[in-house]
Structure 1
Amino acid sequence: MASQTSPGSPASTERFDFVGSAGRKLSGRLERAAGRRRGAVLFAHCFTCGKAALPAVRISRALAGRGFDVLRFDFAGIGESEGDFAETTFCSNVEDLEAAARAMSEAGIAPDVLVGHSLGGAAVIAAAASLSSIRAVATIGAPADLEHLLGLLGSALPRIEADGAAEVDLGGVRPARVGRPFVEALRSHDLAQDVRALGRPYLVLQAPEDQIVTAENGLRLFTLAQGAKSYVSLDGADHLLSDPAHVAYAAEVLCAWSGLEAPAALAPEPKTGWVDVSETGAGGYQVEVATAAGRFLADEPEDVGGLGSGPTPYELMSAALGACTAMTLRMYASRKDMAVGPVAVQVAHAKTEGRDRFERRLLLPPDLPEAERQTLKQIAERCPVHRTLTGGAEVATRLTSPAPQSGRAEHLQAVAAALEDDFAPPATGEVQ
């Protein structure tokens, strides 16, 4: 599995490749949860659409913005995934979903919710029974009967049966070469039985004006499902949710529903004053860092056995020094009514003759008077993290210990203490 992090706002997107059911490498993208993590979602795209299709991307990112890790990937023979689509079947798609769920579990993010669009919706229904971690299933424009899709193949169906494969263009969806095994699987699979046996909360999203998978399909799925179920009409939408407004609406519904149907996936907040660090199982060193404000990954570079999926421990130390410096400067400037524009801090770490050395650069507004620049330089050396690094700290390691009752407040108090009015200013003079 390969995982490379690229910044996002507010969440982030990582490359997430894994081995599918037939040993082929499948290409995925993992949208990391923003803020407190609430669970994980596995998304299946529509027939030949791919992970980069508008509904797949926007729905995944909307869910990530609400606290869900979301994996979207290309089925075999689609997009960046290996394989020949003409050799795939509905059953192989289901098996690839199962492989994706296993890969997520191995990475420490077992999926809680399955979401599928069109044929991907049928696939998640069929896959749910074999995935014990799944708590809820949602489909968008999914067929209630797989043979319904045979009618969509039109004039290509006789050619597929006669020649073994043929090019199929459903209009709006990328053309693909469909093989006879795919057709045979559509005829033989009993999707209705899968829906009856779902045994999990189920959400049906269906557009009344859908001309590819008609509204009768959504109503039949809803009727077949047993137990907790919901039906939401996507008024005015087409099958591919071509209008971004319809994608946004579907995403909002899924976000609200997923939050209700995956309560057990809520990750506990770290105890006040503590940072929780846990191995994910991905790569050699990847860990998840959890604070009361959110979660992120830390890792080592690929050249030392990591995945390069997050900052290294020393980069986190540099970040702590830089963040504390910027906050301390802003607190001082506010107290002294200094008109200081945006402040930036750069920090680099290196080993010099066996000793750790942090180089810090203060990027101050160019129009700031020299006297104020010198004052802020000295103030930077009073930030609590700077003092910890230069003064040393005791590290107490215990097998068990109660969590302290404070932490963040103590840090803010330490910053404030460094800026008390009786602080002696540098020789250049204190800015009033």
Structure 2
Amino acid sequence: MTAIQTADGLELATAHRPAEGDARGTVLLAHGITQDMDEGGMFTRLAEGLAAAGFDAVRFSYRGHGDSDGLSRGVTIGGELLDFEAAFEHMRTCFDGPYFVVAKSFGAVSTSLSLERYRDDISGVVLWNPVLDIESTFLEPQAPWGREQFTGEQLTELEASGSLQLDGEFEFGRVLYEELHRFDPGSQFAERSMPALVVHGDDDDVVPYGPTMRVATESGADVHTIEDTGHAFQTPGGDPVYSDGERVQDRVTVEWLRGRAE
């Protein structure tokens, strides 16, 4: 594990899984909020699958997550854009293209907002259960998780103390909440110039499936629905790591990326 530095001087933890054999490209993995570069083990296993398929896989933890600098209550979209920039420049400097990005959940926000900047560098993007519609996830939440986390009581606490607790352990700051009213990752994703794949479980209890599919299909992205699975592609009551058996999201992602790298 190594560290890279952001434009505002923070160090971010990174990891590299080298391709097996000759590399056909490099994939940057961008995790969701409250997670880290492992994404609960999902990204470590995806990195193994990518390496077996001939891709270098680069993972990193956003500020305020994992072993990276910063506090969770200081996480902002603006800061995550700097983190994505640092990670992408690290990938571009150290590894050969073509370059791809796989982003999960809130990682899709900084990824989508960066697509225009890197339109000539990113050959394809894959989003897993992505936050493309901020309003339906956070501001007027449609899924159970959002309705539990952003209650009137929680928002009162946010206003009074400057943060609220996500899942009882991650401090979600007031600046980040205010930013949610200003950024629109869905529109940026829709205006992208590179091919995209959106993979989503239709029983997601965190990021509502319907709004994501609307943005994805209207923008011409490829879509793959994993039926009866939630935010970690788990079946209800099942183990979030192994319950899908084949890890369909890994297989679909690797196959799609191989097709774009040839």
What residue is the counterpart of 2:109 in the other structure?
122
What residue is the counterpart of 2:157 in the other structure?
159
Contact 2:24–2:97 (8 Å) recurs in 1: no
Give the SS at the match of 1:99.
Answer: helix
What residue is the counterpart of 2:62 in the other structure?
75
Contact 1:136–1:261 (8 Å) recurs in 2: yes
What residue is the counterpart of 1:352 in the other structure?
none
Question: Per-residue CA shift, 1:163-203, capped at 9, x if unaligned?
Answer: 21122217xxxx21111111111111022320221111010
Counterpart residue identity of residue 114, structure 1: V
Match of 2:167 among 166, 169, 179: 169
The whole-number CA distance in structure 2 between the counterparts of 1:197 and 1:238 is: 27
Alignment of 1:129-140 (within 5 A): 129-131=116-118, 132-140=120-128
Shift of 1:221: 2.3
Contact 1:59–1:248 (8 Å) recurs in 2: no
The whole-number CA distance in structure 1 between the counterparts of 2:241 and 2:171 is: 27
Question: Per-residue CA shift, 1:36-93, capped at 9, x if unaligned?
Answer: 2110011111111111222111112211111111111111011100111211212221
Unaligned runs of 5+ in 2: 234-239
Counterpart residue identity of residue 19, structure 1: Q
> Sequence identity of aligned pairs in percent?
24
Shift of 1:245: 4.8
Alignment of 1:173-322 (within 5 A): 175-226=169-220, 229-241=221-233, 242-246=240-244, 248-263=247-262
Question: Per-residue CA shift, 1:300-356, capped at 9, x if unaligned?
Answer: xxxxxxxxxxxxxxxxxxxxxxxxxxxxxxxxxxxxxxxxxxxxxxxxxxxxxxxxx
* Higher Rg of the two aligned structures: 1
Counterpart residue identity of residue 108, structure 2: G
What residue is the counterpart of 2:237 in the other structure?
none
Counterpart residue identity of residue 223, structure 1: T
Question: Per-residue CA shift, 1:134-165, capped at 9, x if unaligned?
Answer: 01111010122123224323232331123211
RMSD between aligned residues: 1.8
Give the SS at the match of 2:56.
Answer: strand
Question: Per-residue CA shift, 1:272-297, capped at 9, x if unaligned?
Answer: xxxxxxxxxxxxxxxxxxxxxxxxxx
2:28 is aligned with 1:42:
yes
Contact 1:142–1:217 (8 Å) recurs in 2: no
The whole-number CA distance in structure 2 between the counterparts of 1:63 and 1:208 is: 25
Counterpart residue identity of residue 160, structure 2: A
What residue is the counterpart of 1:90 in the other structure?
77
Unaligned runs of 5+ in 1: 1-14, 264-432
Normalised to the residue count of structure 1, the TM-score between the two structures is 0.54
Match of 2:138 among 120, 131, 149: 149
Normalised to the residue count of structure 2, the TM-score between the two structures is 0.86
Question: Per-residue CA shift, 1:100-159, capped at 9, x if unaligned?
Answer: 011112213456111111111232111222123101111010122123224323232331
The whole-number CA distance in structure 1 between the counterparts of 2:228 and 2:22 is: 34
Match of 2:50 among 63, 68, 73: 63
Alignment of 1:389-400 (within 5 A): none
Contact 1:104–1:111 (8 Å) recurs in 2: no
Counterpart residue identity of residue 124, structure 1: T
Larger CA deviation: 201-210 vs 231-240: 231-240
Q: Find runs of 4+ consecutive structure 1 residues off by over 3 angstroms.
A: 108-111
Q: Higher relative contact order at CA 8 Å, sep ≥6: structure 1 or structure 2?
A: 2
Counterpart residue identity of residue 43, structure 1: L
Residues 109 and 160 of structure 1, relative CA distance in 2, 3 Å threshold: farther
The whole-number CA distance in structure 2 between the counterparts of 1:78 and 1:110 is: 27
Counterpart residue identity of residue 150, structure 2: G
Contact 1:205–1:218 (8 Å) recurs in 2: no
The whole-number CA distance in structure 2 between the counterparts of 1:184 and 1:90 is: 10
Aligned residues: 243
Give the SS at the match of 2:66.
Answer: coil
The whole-number CA distance in structure 2 between the counterparts of 1:216 and 1:28 is: 33
Counterpart residue identity of residue 155, structure 2: L
